[in-house]
Structure formats: C-alpha cells, structure tokens
A and B are shown apart, each in its own frame.
Chain A
Amino acid sequence: MSNARATDAPTRAPKSKPGSTRRLHLPQKMRNVELFLLIVACGINASAVVLVQLGALGHIDTTLVVLGAGLSGLVLCLHIVLRFVARDADPFILPIATLLNGIGIAMIYRIDIANGDAGWDSAAVRQTVWSGLAIACAITVMLVIRNHRVLFRYTYVSGFVAVVLLLLPLVPGLGREVSGARVWIGIGSFATFQPGEIAKIALAIFFAGYLVRNRDSLSMVGRRVLWMKFPRLRDLGPILVLWALSMSVIIFQRDLGTALLYFGLFLVMLYIATGRLSWVLLGMTLFIGGAIIASQTLDYVHGRFQNWLDALNPDVYNADGGSYQLVQGLFGLAKGGLLGTGLGQGRPEITPVPQSDYIIASLGEELGLAGLFAILALYLLFVARGIRIGFAGHDDFGKLLGVGLSFVVALQCFIVIGGVTRVIPLTGLTTPFLAAGGSSLVANWIIVALLLRLSDTIRNQPRLVV
C-alpha cells in the first residue's frame, strides 16, 4: 500500500523511515480526477431530468430533487469509500456508470410522465431506490473483498452458486414467467428478481478460476488442421457442458439472450486463456447450429427469427407477438434522426416496454443518433477500461476476471442494442445500467465494484520506474 501512495505523490512525500507509523498527508490524484468527473456526471444527470420536465411538462417541479440528489448522494458515498479502501482504483469507471445510470433514470422518468405514473407506481422512483440498493451492494463488495485473489479460492463454490441461481426460476411457486421467459423469481406479488443477472458474475469468477487451473490441457495439445490447431476430442468436455447448459436455458427458460450471454462469455474467456482461435470457431459453430435447430423446433425462437428477418411484412407486424414492438422502435429511432426530438418531446411511449428492453430506442428517439452514439461511446470506454485492467493484471486469475467481467457488459449491450436495431434477433436482456430493472442494476454495480477492486490491487504491486 504505502508504495503506491508514495508513488502518487513523489514530490511532496518526505523521506520516511521504514517502519515509521506517522501518517502522511498524500494528495489522491486519481480520486480527485474521479471526483471532478463525478460532479460533471451528476450535473449532466440533473440537467437531463430538467430537460425532461421542460420538454414534457413545460415547467420544473420538485421530483427532480429526489431523482437527482438520490443518485448523486449515493455515488458520492461510494467515492468516499474508495478514498479509504481503494485509493488507486481506476478513476473513470465510477463516473461512466453514474452517467449511464442517471440518463436511464431520466428516460424512465420521461416515460412515467407520458404514462401518468407518480409515487410508488413511478418506475423512475423505483429505479432510484434500486440504484441505492445496487450501490450499497457495491460498497459492501468493496469493503468485504480486499483482494481479488480471495475469489480464486471460491472457484467451484461460485460455479455451484451460478447453477443454483440459474435453476431458481424453474422451482415451482418461486419462479415467474414474464412475457414468455421463465427467468424471474418472486415472493408474493412484488419483489421480482432475475437471478440470472447475478449468475453471470458467479460464472465469470468460476470460468476464470477454472481456466487458470486447467488451461494447459486445453491449450497445449491438439492436432493441426489447415492453419489452425484443434483440440483433442477428450478435451471438448467443458465446452460441451457449457453448450448443453445454454441450450437448456433456451429450452426450459425460453430465453435466447441469456443463453447467448453465458456461452459467449465462456468462449471469450476460453480464447483469452488459451490463445487459440479454434475454440471460438468450434463454439460458434456449436451455438449457431443449436440456435438453428431451436428455431426450427421451438415456436418462440422461430417467432423471434421471423420478426427479425421479415419485420416489415404486415402479417408479421400485426400478428400476436409479432414485430409490432420492433418496428415501432425502429420508427422511433427514425423519428429521432440525427439530433433527436429533444428530451421529453418525442413519443417513445408508443413502443411497448419503452423503459426496459426498448430504452435504447426511446433514447435514440429523443437524443438522436448523436446522443445514442454518445451512450455507445460511454459503454465503449467502460469496457475498454475493464479490458485494460485485465491486461495490466499481474496474475492470470485477475486478468481473466477483468476481461470476463467487462466483456459480459459488452456482449449484453451488443445483444440488446443489436436486437433493438435489427442486427440480430431480438431477445429480452436488459441494457446495462440504463434499463429499468433492479437485478440488472445490482449485478452491474457489483461488476463496477469488482473492476475497481481489481484495478486497485493491480496498482499496488511493487513497481520501479527507471
């Protein structure tokens, strides 16, 4: 610890005797950068809410105070915690996550106004409360996990936890089915939760630990076919197990997106651990083959494919569960054009579920291409920071975990935004940080906390500058 602190303030720190316990006042350069960016991000969030009110209501009222101040206060708490427990953590991750979360709340609030929801009915208020819970979880993670290598010990435990979380929605009485997908659990009529979101973190930890332990057999041996080295048949076990797992998610939970997310995460981590392209090729062949078979045999997958390929056909458009939502989203995006209609001045509420799955289409309508690309750039920066942290890691477990956690965010963005913009078939996943939904927020803020912890541990390694 003391090393890195001293390196942060080379000119001011006086020569201290080894072992002296005198506390030095050292300026925290990185935390100050973070504080500055956080204040800017909170300012942008507040102005987004103001613009929504001006555009949709024509005046400013006090709901703004709850929405704006709530989130800002919480992230500042996290910032203060970082000043004590992770002084060298990456300064960009927290402001980016804050800004995305805040823009999401502003957009959800805008749709509340259109639907006339207020108080506890208002999704924006619930989203703010969930953000609070999520950030509290992030703070707990920061305080409990002081070194990411601790997680290495719990490799198989977290693998088990992931499987249990995945199976929970199938338990009778506990599982809930929402719009066809059985990925929710709920007790009573409220408090629904998507355990699969948390499972992705547990899976990332499990994959990282498992691959660090076992990658030699997966990367060293194999037969060369053409220019690529393919693994032996007997080493195909893990990938086949994962494939079976994701296929069973498609069949039993009826959720294409989650299956793609887990399998993609495993493939990328396998590729990074072994450096062999043949795994990716093999895995993609398996998954695409499985998806094609599923689209032939399973009705809901077939419907998704049809909505995607033939969206503008009037029959498909008017069918029950047809492409109405997708096409309305596209119309919204088209209405937005380059600069958007302005916050609060579009009509995003026409699209079904504009605040969760379709929040990207809502944002695209009101902020335009320029705003949508800004949001994509924020995701890009977030993921790039995560991969950079993984790249800078000194231990293989930390490297894999950093890359895995940030890639899962990237892949989730691709699946959702690609679905909304008709690049791939639409599947129900949440847009990280933006979309209304508590489980997704909790999971993504835990990812933030883990990345911050990783970046702090990495910078605390002994270093020498010549």
Chain B
Amino acid sequence: MNVSELTLLVLRLGFLLVLWLFIFGIVYALRSDLFGQRVRKQPKDGAPAVASAGLAAAFPSAVPVAAPVMQAAPAFVQPPAASAAAPTEQFSAQAAKDDLGPGDKATAQNATRLVITSGPKAGTEFPLTVDSVTIGRSADSSLVIRDDYTSTHHARLMLWNDKWMIQDLDSTNGTFLAGVRLAVPTPVPLNTTVKIGATSFELRR
C-alpha cells in the first residue's frame, strides 16, 4: 500500500490541526480560570440557579448552583427553621443565650463556626476546622460569594497566634468589621458582623 504525496500532506496538516484543537479544547474548558468568574444574579428562593458553563470543568468545586449545594452538603448545617425570610430573631436570641459581649476575641478554642447572618444564604453555617478561610468570588475560595460587590480574592480569615484575624486583600469595595472598613489585618471579636458585599457573617462559638 503506497500513499500519495497529497494524502500525506493532508494527513500532516490534519495532525497539526488536531493538536491545536486539543489545546484550544483545554483552554476553552479553562476560560473562566483565565478571564475570571462570571457575575451571577442571585436566584430567587427555590428557583433553579442559572448555571454558568465552563468553570465546572476547571475548578468544579465551584459548582455554580447555590441553593441545592447547601442541601446536599451535609457539613454545612442549615437550621431547618431558619428560612431566608426570618433568620435574624433566631440568631439574636442565640447570641443573647451565649451571653457574650462582642468584646471577646475569637480564638481557635472559642470559635467553632462561621454563620452567615444576612444575604441570600443567611442562616448557613461554615465549620472553622481549618486554619485559614479565603473569601472571594473566585471558585477556589473557601467561602465563595458571587455578587457584584465582591472581588475575586476579597478577604481572608486566618488563625494568627491562635486568634482569628481578618485581612482585606485589596478588595475594591472593602471589608467592614462592625461597620468600619478594614485597613490592616484585625482580630475578629466573637459575634461581631463582618460585611463583604451584600453578605455579612459572624464568628460564633
């Protein structure tokens, strides 16, 4: 079997083409890594979220569906009574019960969870079992907040000498601790509101 020059030419150009298609295929799957996360409108309660394609393949832990994730992930306990409509009374009651002034600094010993107090996922908890929590819009953050006000790498909570500190990572719209915009890494007191974009959270026992 002898192959003609023309066939070889076509085959060799085809090979180069396939090689490049493979590369562009990978780049296409990675595009959200390269160009940043798409801003997503917060879905209404119960409405199915709009999936932004692409990233799922790259860093798919950023599954772009908000509500069902929370139901599926057993570690983030959503108190059954806490509907998005009325979470606040429950939490203020809890805070009163804990009998803690906002003066106590959160340490590795006394803070066990991060509780979202306002925003679309109010009432959700996040266990503080790690020594650093990154917050931002990017998919690789530990706490992903996707709204118009959050920067890609917005802020970071970290254990420093056993104390929980919050550091703003040069975000555009700032991080607010008890209403004051952060300039330097600051220790976070227990039960004090930290506000990032439209979401605020507290560290609790």
Chain A contacts to B: CB under 8 angstroms? 2-4, 6-11, 13, 15-16, 18, 29-30, 33, 37, 40-41, 44, 47-48, 51, 54-55, 58-60, 88, 91-92, 95-96, 99, 339-340, 342-343, 345, 367-368, 370-371, 374, 377-378, 381, 388, 391-392, 394-395, 458-459, 461-466
Task: Decide if B13 is an interface residue (CB 8 Å cutoff).
Answer: yes
11 CB contacts below 8 A, A to B, read A16-B74, A44-B22, A342-B9, A342-B12, A371-B19, A388-B33, A394-B130, A465-B62, A465-B64, A465-B66, A466-B144
Given A58-B1, A99-B22, 12 other A-B residues pairs in contact with their CB atoms under 8 A: A6-B72, A339-B12, A342-B11, A345-B12, A377-B23, A392-B59, A394-B142, A461-B142, A463-B61, A464-B144, A465-B63, A466-B144
- CB contacts (< 8 Å) of B132 on chain A: these are 394-395
Are the CB atoms of A33 and B71 closer together than 8 Å? Answer: no
Q: Mark B105-137, 1 if CB is under 8 A from A, else 0.
A: 000000000001001110010110111101000
CA distance A463 to B20 in the complex (A): 35
Whether A7 pairs with B22 at a CB distance below 8 angstroms is no
CB atoms of A343 and B74 under 8 A apart: no
Contact call B143/A466, Cβ cutoff below 8 A: yes
Contacts known (A7-B61, A92-B26, A343-B12); A462 close to B75, Cβ less than 8 A: yes
Q: Which 7 A-B pairs have the closest CB atoms?
A: A392-B140, A342-B12, A6-B72, A10-B68, A13-B72, A374-B19, A10-B69
Q: Are A29 and B60 in contact (CB under 8 A)?
A: yes
Q: Say yes or no: B23 contacts A465, CB within 8 Å.
A: no
- In the complex, the answer to whether A33 meets B57 with C-beta atoms within 8 Å is yes
* Minimum Cβ distance to chain B for residue A321 (Å): 35
Q: Which of B3, B62, B72, B134 contacts A394 (CB 8 A)?
A: B134
Find the residue from B23, B116, B124, B143 having the highest chain A CB count within 10 A.
B23
Give the A-binding residues of B (Cβ under 8 A).
1-3, 8-9, 11-13, 15-16, 18-20, 22-23, 25-27, 29-30, 33, 56-57, 59-66, 68-76, 116, 119-121, 124, 126-127, 129-132, 134, 140-147, 199
Knowing A30-B57, A339-B13, A394-B132 touch, does A6 contact B23 (C-beta < 8 A)? no
Counted as pairs of residues, one from A and one from B, with CB atoms less than 8 Å apart, the total is 163
A88-B59 Cα distance, complex, nearest whole Å = 9
Bound together, the chains give a CA A377 to CA B27 distance in angstroms of: 10
Complex partner residue of B61 from A11, A95, A367, A459, CB under 8 angstroms: A459
List residues of chain A with CB within 8 A of the CB of B127. 462
- CA A374 to CA B146, docked complex, whole Å: 35
- CB atoms of B124 and A464 under 8 A apart: yes
Asked whether, in the complex, the Cβ of A367 is within 8 Å of the Cβ of B143, the reply is no
A10→B72 contact, CB < 8 A: yes
- Complex interface: chain A residues within 8 A of B3 (CB): 54, 58
- In the complex, what distance in Å separates the CA atom of A394 from the CA atom of B128? 13
Chain A residues whose CB sits within 8 angstroms of the CB of B68 once the complex forms? 10-11
Contact between B57 and A47, CB atoms less than 8 A apart: no
- Chain A, residue nearest B122 (CB): A466
- State whether A462 touches B142 (Cβ < 8 A): yes
Q: Which of chain A's residues have a CB closer than 8 A to the CB of B142?
A: 394, 461-464
Which has the most chain A C-beta neighbours within 10 Å: B29, B64, B72, B75?
B72
B69: which A residues are within 8 A, CB to CB?
A: 6-7, 10, 465
- Cβ-defined partner of B29 (8 Å) among A33, A54, A465: A33
Select A466's contact among B23, B131, B146, beta carbons within 8 Å.
B146
Most chain A CB within 10 A, of B29, B60, B62, B66, is at: B60
Chain B residues contacting A29 (CB-CB under 8 Å) are 56-57, 60
What is the bound-complex CA distance between A213 and B131, given in angstroms? Answer: 16
Give chain B nearest CB distance to A127 CB in angstroms. 20
- Are A466 and B26 neighbours in the complex by a CB distance under 8 Å? no
* Pair A374/B20 contact, Cβ less than 8 Å: yes
Q: A345-B8, A371-B16 are in contact. Are A465 and B144 (CB under 8 A)?
A: yes
Query: Which of B74, B119, B130 contacts A6, CB < 8 Å?
Result: B74
Please give the distance in Å from A461's CB to the nearest CB on chain B: 6
CB distance from A387 to the nearest CB of B (A): 11
Query: Could you say which of A8, A41, A340 contacts B22, with CB atoms under 8 Å apart?
Result: A41
Contact status A374-B16, CB under 8 Å:
yes
A37 to B21, CA, bound (A): 11
With A10-B68, A11-B68 already in contact, the answer to whether A2 and B74 are too (CB < 8 A) is: yes
Distance in Å from the Cβ of B139 to the closest Cβ of chain A?
8
B19/A59 in contact, CB under 8 A: no
- Among B2, B11, B60, B124, point to the contact of A51 (Cβ < 8 A): B11
